[in-house]
Amino acid sequence: MIEVRNLSKVYTTKKGTVTGVDAVSLKINKGEVFGIVGYSGAGKSSLLRCLNLLEKPTSGQVLINGVELTALSNRELRSQRLKIGMIFQHFHLVSSKTVFENVSFALKAARKSSKEIEARVTELLGLVGLSDKRDVYPSQLSGGQKQRVGIARALANNPAVLLCDEATSALDPGTTKAILGLLKEINKKLGLTIVLITHEMEVVKEICDRMAVMQDGKIVEEGNVYEIFSNPTQPLTQQFISTVLQFDLPPHLLENPAGTIIKIQFKGSIAEESVVSDVFQKFKVRGNILHGKIEYIQEIPLGIFVMELIGEQSEIAKAINYITERTKSLEVIHHAA
C-alpha cells in the first residue's frame, strides 16, 4: 500500500546541513494502523510529510498504491494528494469559516458541485458526531470537536490514506481516547490505511497494528505492536515501553528483602492462567506481590508482576524454574543476603 525506498531528507540551514530522514525504507500494509514513534527531532514528522510530498525528499522513492509520487509532475501530484488525507496537532482550521465551510474546502478544491458538497459534508459531520455543529465557528468548539472537524475535512475526498501528525498531542487524556476511538472506527468502517506519528506509547498501544521507532532520522526498530511491547530489543524502544509497562520499585524494598525478588512477564493466554497461585500450592514458598499490571494490546493480555518469594532456597529455586517454564519470561531482580 505505502512503500518508502531508501528515503532521505536533508535540510540546509545557516549552520550547515541537517539530516531529518536518513535512508529509511518502510512498507505499510493496506488497511492497517501504523505508528511512527520518536522523541522530538527524531525525524518522524519529516518522514510523515514526505509521504505526501509536503516535504520533498532529497533522495529515495515514495509509492502509494503502486504510484511513485516522487516521479510525478506537480499537476499529477495534486491529483494523487486527493487520495491522501492529513490531520494536524493544532487543527489548522480557518477561524472565519463555519464547520461546514471548513470541511467543504477540500471538496471545492476538487471542483465538486454544490449538491455533492452538501451531501458529503452532511455525511461526514454525522460520521464524526458533529451534525449539530455545522454552522458554528471553530472558536465555539472544544479541542476534541476541532479535531473531529479536522478528521472530517481530511476524509472529504474519500482518501485511501490518512496521515496523522501528532493528532492527539494537544488534547486531554479523555478527549484523546475519544479521538483514537473515532480513528479506529473509521479505519474499520472505511478500510483506511492510517499512519500516525506520536511520542506517546499509550496512543500506539490503543490503536496501532504495527509500529516503527525512529532515532536520528533512522528506524531503529519495527514490527507488530504486541511483539514490540512484549519484547523490545533496542534501548530506545525499551525506554518508550517503560512509560507504559515498567515501574521502579521503591529503593527500601531492595535494601533488606526477606526473600528473592523476581519480575515475571505473562504473554497472551498465560496471563489469564493461575501460575502464581499454582506456585504456592506446589512449593513451600510464600509470596508478596510488590507490583503488578496487565495491559491489553490488540485485545491480547500482557502482564508484568514483581513479587518476593520467601522460603528455603531450594524451594525458591524450584518455584523459579516452574514459573520460567510456564511463562518463558522471568528475571531475578534481587536475592536475599
Superfamily of domain 2-242: P-loop containing nucleotide triphosphate hydrolases (3.40.50.300)
What average pLDDT score do residues 188-216 get?
A: 93
Looking at residue 328, the DSSP 8-state letter turns out to be: S
Distance CA 297, CA 145 (A): 27
Domain spans, the chain? 2-242, 252-334
- The backbone region for 92, taken as left when phi is positive above 0, alpha when psi lies in -120 to 50, beta otherwise, is left
pLDDT > 90? residue 290: no
Question: Is the per-residue pLDDT at 3 higher than 90?
Answer: yes
Whole-model pTM: value is 0.88
Average pLDDT of the residues in 273-301: 87
Query: Strand locations in 29-153, DSSP E?
Result: 33-37, 59-64, 67-68, 84-88
For residue 79, the model assigns a pLDDT of 86
As given in the structure block, the three cell numbers for residue 71 are: 516521479
Look at residue 92 in the predicted model and tell me its pLDDT.
87
CA–CA distance from 118 to each of 100, 123, 131, 134, 294 (Å)?
Answer: 9, 9, 12, 11, 47
Which pLDDT does position 215 carry in this prediction? 95
pLDDT band at 337 (very low <50, low <70, confident <90, very high): low
Strand partners, 4: 26, 62
pLDDT digits (tens, 9 = 90+) for 10-41: 998 888 899 999 999 999 999 999 999 999 88
What are the tens digits of pLDDT across the range 83-126?
A: 899 998 888 899 999 999 999 988 888 888 999 999 999 999 99
Q: What is the mean pLDDT of residues 325-337?
A: 82
d(CA 26, CA 165): 18
Q: How far apart are CA 321 and CA 314, in angstroms?
A: 11
Topology of the domain covering 252-334: Alpha-Beta Plaits (3.30.70)
Angle at 169 between CA 167 and CA 175, to 5 degrees: 80
247 or 201: whose pLDDT is higher?
Answer: 201
User: 30: closest CA among 66, 78, 57, 77?
Assistant: 66
pLDDT of residue 336: 66
Predicted local distance difference test score (pLDDT) of residue 186: 92
Could you give the C-alpha distances from 132 to 106, 175, 284, 294, 334, in angstroms and in order? Answer: 21, 19, 65, 39, 59
Dihedral class, residue 168 (left if φ above 0, else alpha if ψ from -120 to 50, else beta): alpha
Q: Write down the pLDDT at residue 267.
A: 87
Using DSSP, state whether 38 is helix, strand or coil. coil
Mean pLDDT across the chain: 90
Helix (H, G, I), strand (E, B) or coil at 243: coil
37 Cβ contact list (under 8 Å, min separation 6): 44, 197, 198, 199, 201, 204, 211, 212, 213, 214, 240
